[in-house]
Structure 1
Amino acid sequence: MPQSERLPPSSAAPVPAPTPEPGAVTRLVRSIRGLPLAERWWGPGCAGLPGWFQAESAPTTDATPRFQELYARARRGEPVLPAEANRHLYLLVKGMLGDELFGYLEDNQLRLEQRGLETCAVSVDTEGSLEANLAQVRKALENAAFFRRSVVLVGHSKGAVESLSALAMYPHLRACVRAVVALQAPYGGSPVAHDLMASPEMRRVVDIALPLLFYGVSRSVEDLSYPRRMEFVRRHPYPVEIPTVSLATSRDSRRSLLWPVAHYMRERYGLASDGLVATVDAEIPGSRVVRLDDLDHAQAALMGIPGLAPHHPGDLTEAMVALALE
């Protein structure tokens, strides 16, 4: 075709394809990459705050030797629960992100059911705020009281805090509660939660990660910071007349999945911890305390790899319940 007969090039530029919106994980990664160097936000952290409540609360009693006896018997398959155990309803309360973890508290609940006990999982939102979940625990206890049921509360981590807090806030609920088992509860607060919320940059990550990745709210982390726990506990001290056993653990071993966090707390603050909760913060005022130095925060509620997990969740729960009912 002659040059003069060729069609002129089109003046209309091609329309670019729309750029897809970045997903939640992409936004989280971008936020993390935008953080400043550690020394720019390190600050004082929570130094001096772990265990803050012990000087102004009822003393605890060390029940570790008795627990070890009960646990050894449970491991051998021997009966350890008292006769009265069958008369109670066992309400289990999950901790933060429990609904996202496969098998979380399942073995604990199954063991109680295998012993002929009636159990029920309280329908808390494991990514939700303390206030919202308190309402669910209160509802479960009021339902039990309506049907004249005696209750044993078994809570892990934030779920234990919500159980304890409901009894502290609502005195009318205490009459139907026979005992409380608090497994690794950040009663005084959590150094991890505190440090995450104390730094503006890290708080920005939490604000992004919880709503977008877990459909939760960052307030569920903030509820476990030391200022929030101080405010709540001083307004609503835990009633020491309720028979309560608390599990306070630590593990600083590279064989633990939570070792990096446990190592951080030991190096920065000199704290013994289970990787998420400092041991001193898990000792409920007035309770009988079981202290273990070989258990991280996941191993009380999740089945571990044989040979790596030092305690079996089912045996541990059975022994703790037996201890609470003595």
Structure 2
Amino acid sequence: MADAGDSEVGLALSLLQGLFYPVTYAQQLGFSILRSWQDRLFQRKEHLQRIYKRVQSTLRGSVDDIGWLQRVPEFPPVEERTERFVQLLGLVSNGIHKLPNSFVYLLIPGLFSNHSPLYFVDTKKHFSKLGLTCHIAKIHSEASVETNALVLKNYIEELYWGCGKKVLLLGHSKGGVDAAAAISKYWTDLKEKVAGLVVIQSPYGGSPIASDILREGQIADTETRRVMELLICKIIKGDIRSLDDLTYDKRKDFLAKHPLPLGFPTVSFHTEVSIAPEVLSTMSYIAHAELPWLPLPTIDGVDLQEPVSAKKLNVIAPLAAAMALSSFHLELRYREKSDGLVVRKDAEIPGSIVVRPDRKLDHAWMVYSQSRKDIKCSDASQMCEALLTLLLEVGQESYNLEESQSSMETHSKEAST
């Protein structure tokens, strides 16, 4: 009887389980669907957050990085001497030249200089006419900053040992960054061989153009980097690090490890470009094309062929318009003045003498002459001469200060004894 009762109870439980099985199955299915939807919603939320961060990073761009050098309390302040530079430039324009022949003057070109045959050529000719020893550094401008720093270090040592004179450096754009890197990284080897540095329109703190192009975590960052790698590495045969080294992140890392020596004579020169409508029609000479000599036929027994020298044709491009549009973009987006590529705040080396001229000059002005020249304005060669003259004045002041401090220390030691 007991077995029969247990059997009936078991049967009843089985029947109940069978009756509730659809309910249990539906409950489990519901929980499974709910968990699946929760996972999908979480993934979608993460995806939307990533998109939001990319959009935010793209929209903010370099707004937090521009001018960062001026916000670091450990860096020494700059000193403006624009007025003195203008005075020296006036002397140079009037034929009064003060640069001595006791130095070697080394000009360091900037990015893509290997594709710019006229880069610093007129400046070197101008210096040679003054009887000065002047060289244009033969570097691969599309190489990384550290690569060019080593090349320049060796170049400076060769000039020093070959001429027996200290070297004064003048770098334009990335050339100024490369020159500063050579001095800071190899200061122990170069401190007795270099006398000073002038940087012209150099992105010492970094460039918003380079940073905005190569910044990770923004919209289409991978695709943009691939395009730039194709352009720089495959077409120009350069190194993507040449552009990457000019981003704010890379400049912050480099300067944290290799700052310029304190007290080293340095002059920083930067400008802003005019965005006036007439600039859009200004053309710049970027190269010379040599036309071949074509033989002339003989007509009626008269030989028309005479020795004719090959003619040179100026190759022009609207670089001024491109710089103006780029500057307008930077001013519209960041409310910052620039020369088209470098923001003024990022072109000042901490502790340097700063020249901030009122004259509107774009980033390519130091490289290429324009089709519309103002004979009343000084050219690039005269500007370089005036800047180097100012640098020598700064170096002399620094030398006098060191001599004065050394003399005071000597007198104090003698007094104590």
Q: Is 1:304 matched with 2:319? A: no
For residue 75 of structure 1, the aligned residue among 54, 70, 93 is 93
Say whether residues 1:66 and 2:84 are aligned partners.
yes
Report deviation, 1:201. 3.0
Contact 1:185-1:277 within 8 A present in 2 as well: yes
- In the aligned structure 1, how far is the partner of 2:130 from the partner of 2:362? 26
Match of 2:296 in 1: none
1:308, distance to aligned residue in structure 2 (A): 6.5
2:234 is aligned with 1:169: no
Conservation of the 8 A alpha-carbon contact between 2:120 and 2:136: no
1:120 corresponds to which residue? Answer: 135
Q: CA deviation at 1:314?
A: 0.8
State yes or no: 1:46 paired with 2:62. Answer: yes
Letter in 1 for 2:364: A
Deviation string for 1:70-106 (max 9, x for gaps)?
Answer: 1122223x21324xx2100111111000121231111
What letter matches 2:334 in structure 1?
A: Y
Amino acid at match of 2:327: A
Tell me if structure 2 keeps the 8 A contact 1:129–1:223.
yes
**Structure 1 residue 179: Cα displacement:** 1.5
Residue 109 of structure 1: aligned partner? 124
Calculate the TM-score normalised by the size of structure 1: 0.83
Kept in 2, the 8 Å contact 1:240–1:287? The answer is no
Q: Which amino acid aligns with 1:316?
A: M
Give the Cα–Cα distance (whole angstroms) in 1 for the partners of residues 117 and 138 of structure 2: 16
Structure 1 residues 222-249: Cα deviation after superposition (integer angstroms, max 9, x where no partner): 0000000000001111113221111111
Output the amino acid matched with 2:78.
Answer: T
Tell me the amino acid that sits aligned with residue 169 of structure 1: K
Structure 2 residue runs of 5 or longer lacking an equivalent are 1-53, 216-220, 280-319, 394-417
Out of 268-277 and 122-131, give the one that drifted further. Answer: 122-131
User: Where do residues 91-170 of structure 1 align in structure 2 (5 Å cutoff)?
Assistant: 91-147=106-162, 148-170=164-186
Structure 1 partner of 2:328: 263
Count residues with an aligned counterpart.
286
Of 272, 292, 311, the residue aligned with 1:250 is 272
1:212 and 1:220 mapped to 2: Cα distance?
A: 14
Q: 2:388 aligns with which of 307, 321, 326?
A: 321
- Equivalent positions of 1:207-222 (< 5 A) are 207-222=229-244
Determine the C-alpha separation between the residues in 1 that align with 2:200 and 2:265.
14
2:275/2:325 contact within 8 Å kept: no
> Could you list the runs of 5+ residues in structure 1 that have no partner in the other structure?
1-37
Superposed CA offset, 1:256-282 (max 9, x none): 330111111111111110011110111
Letter in 1 for 2:259: P
Map of 1:15 onto structure 2: none
The answer to whether the Cα contact below 8 Å between 2:146 and 2:181 also exists between their aligned partners in 1 is no
Tell me if structure 2 keeps the 8 A contact 1:111–1:318.
Answer: no
Conserved 8 A contact 1:246-1:283: yes
Aligned to 2:353: 288
Which residue number in structure 1 is paired with residue 208 of structure 2? 191
Give the Cα separation in 1 of the matches to 2:251 and 2:56: 27
What are the superposed Cα offsets for residues 176-229 of structure 1, whole Å, 9 maximum, x if unpaired? 111211111110001111111113332222111112221112111000000000
Q: Report percent identity of matched pairs.
A: 32
Work out whether 1:241 is the aligned partner of 2:263. yes
Return closer, same or farther for 1:55/1:175 CA change in 2, 3 Å cut-off. Answer: farther
Higher relative contact order (CA 8 A, sep 6+): 1
- 1:265 partner letter: L
Structure-2 separation of matches of 1:266 and 1:143: 43
Moved more, 165-174 or 186-195: 165-174
CA-based RMSD: 2.0
- Aligned counterparts of 1:75 and 1:306: Cα–Cα separation in 2: 19
> How far apart, in 1, do the equivalents of 2:103 and 2:364 lie?
27
Structure 1 residues 234 and 92: alpha-carbon distance in aligned structure 2, compared to 1, 3 A threshold: same
